[in-house]
Chain A
Amino acid sequence: MDTRVERIRSEAKRLLESGEVDLVIGFRKGSIPMVSRPWFVRTVEDTELLHWDGFCSLNLCNYLTKRKEKVAVVAKGCDTRSLVGHIQENQIQREQVLVLGVPCEGMLDRRALQERAEGTEILEVVESDGRVEIRGRGLERSFPRQEVLQHCCRICRHRNPVLHDRLLSAEVEEHQVERYEDVEEIDSQSPEERWAYFQNMLSPCIRCYACRNVCPHCYCTECFVDCSRPQWVGKSLDLNDVFTFHLFRAFHMAGRCTDCGSCERACPVGIPLRVLTRKLEKVVSERWGFEAGTDLEQLPPLATYRPDDPQDFIK
């Protein structure tokens, strides 16, 4: 068994037995292959089901918002960055959370694996030593892990937890990868082309709001899309309303999004939403040198200012 799984279980057990925390949030194996589901552990017996593999991509910070009890959470790099954001925004107190950090080698892309199975149902996925093997009826193929990682994991610069109380395995090497290739490509186009690009990109959207619901940073009690007086955005599938929804969803993520990829994973029609949030990530970093969720002491960029902020666009 993966040593990380053993560490997670033993650590969770110890914390619950000693009464240090009331709840441990981690993952357990899902009922179908390639899905690990969140697992809320309050008793020592339940720790036996805790699990860790390449499908634990869900951002567990989602379940921490406004919690009252003392919680331990199993967290990858991106989860801890979201957690930093939560603490900065007073959604949870630092003293309440015990972070069981798991350095992450990137999570696997379920859709990419399915594609590679070419129509055969995948019944089992085995991960070992930098390779991933998919098995099914008459199917047995293996790929280098790097090839089947999610896009957000391939361009991740924070694989190690930025904040942790226990580290459950050795830190992994960080890569200074280029994060904005696609953003820059769109940037280089004319407004006309960009307009067409986004109209085309957003046209399949069915306004299910899964991207909003799954986002750890979307916790407003009333979302602007539900607001009816005034109604900022129409409820229809009119592309103008869809555009407005995505414009503001991204805007509300400025300086907060940690690029955990939840929105894209949740999207039932596969819209590459992260290009919008990464554009803002780039703006915020270029203008104010800010990177979301990396420093507990730093205020989020839109909650603060400097008198000498750049203002070349203001007359």
Chain B
Amino acid sequence: MEQQNAQDWEPKILAFLCNWCSYAGADLAGVSRLQYPPNIRIIRIPCSGRMNPAFIAAALRNGVDGVLVSGCHPGDCHYLSGNYFARRKFTVFKELLEFMGVEEGRVHFSWVSAAEGEKFAQVVQEVTEAVKALGPARHYVKEKIEVC
């Protein structure tokens, strides 16, 4: 990632949004003209149950400063139970990642329904602030080899 001055540094945050709820929630935030920080880059996934924790690790290794994973509220999963399984996976993965020294606040999870445009804007606001407070990702970034 390119070097930037500390004062004008803006975090890059990758957001994995489920197709049925959170992605539609983001869309609603957009069409409702709600303001939220432009720091997120969205990847649409079929269901939060599709999240492989390897996606999160790959994102961090490739230099993003924060990750947000968002899906349907418990009970609202389009596939009935995808988010329940996801919740267990995320619990374990988040604990392990933080145990091994990745800062709390790099990886976030949320439930945002298709009707919660305002909540989506608010979640992005919170996540951006938390990642900003941590500063640029330093530890778990794989350095590119310099070729002269």
Contact = CB atoms under 8 A, between A and B. Distances in A.
Say if A and B assemble together: yes
Contacts of B108: 315
B100 A194 contact: yes
B75 interface: yes
Nearest to A195: B101
Interface string A283-301: 1100110000000000001
Interface string B80-93: 01001101111111
Contacts of A315: 108-111, 123, 126
B100 A280 contact: no
Given A191-B103, A195-B139, A315-B108, A309 B57 contact: no
Contacts of B89: 302
A8 interface: no
Nearest to A196: B101
A212 B99 CA distance: 21
B96 A305 contact: no
A164 to B, nearest CB: 30
A143 interface: no
A243 B100 contact: yes
B93 A251 contact: yes
Contacts of A309: 84, 87-88, 91
A192 interface: yes
Contacts of B115: none
Contact of B100 (A195, A238, A311): A195
Nearest to B104: A191
A219 interface: no
A287 B57 CA distance: 23
B79 to A, nearest CB: 13
A198 interface: yes
A252 to B, nearest CB: 10
A240 B142 contact: yes
B74 interface: yes
A243 B142 CA distance: 11
A187 interface: yes
B57 A248 contact: yes
Contact of A313 (B81, B84, B91, B143): B91
Nearest to B81: A305
B95 interface: yes
A279 B110 contact: no
Interface residues of A, number: 45
The interface centre, meaning the residue of A224, A255, A280 with most chain B CB atoms within 10 A of its CB, is A280
Given A232-B58, A247-B57, A279 B111 contact: no
Interface residues of B, number: 39
Interface string B47-91: 000000110011001000000000000110000010011011111
A125 to B, nearest CB: 37
A227 to B, nearest CB: 9
B94 interface: yes
B95 A191 contact: no
A240 B139 CA distance: 9
Contacts of A314: 87, 90, 109-111
B28 interface: no
B121 interface: no
Contacts of B103: 191
Given A251-B96, A276-B100, A315-B108, A230 B58 contact: yes
A272 B123 CA distance: 39
A6 interface: no
B56 to A, nearest CB: 10
Nearest to B123: A315
Nearest to A190: B101
Interface string B92-130: 111111111111100011110000000000010010000
A104 to B, nearest CB: 29
Contacts of A244: 57, 61
Nearest to B122: A315
Contacts of A307: 74-75, 84
Chain A to chain B: the 4 pairs with minimum beta-carbon distance, closest first: A195-B101, A305-B84, A315-B110, A194-B101
Interface of B: 53-54, 57-58, 61, 74-75, 81, 84-85, 87-104, 108-111, 123, 126, 139-143
Given A187-B99, A241-B142, 9 more contacts: A191-B102, A254-B96, A276-B96, A280-B95, A287-B91, A302-B89, A309-B88, A314-B90, A314-B111
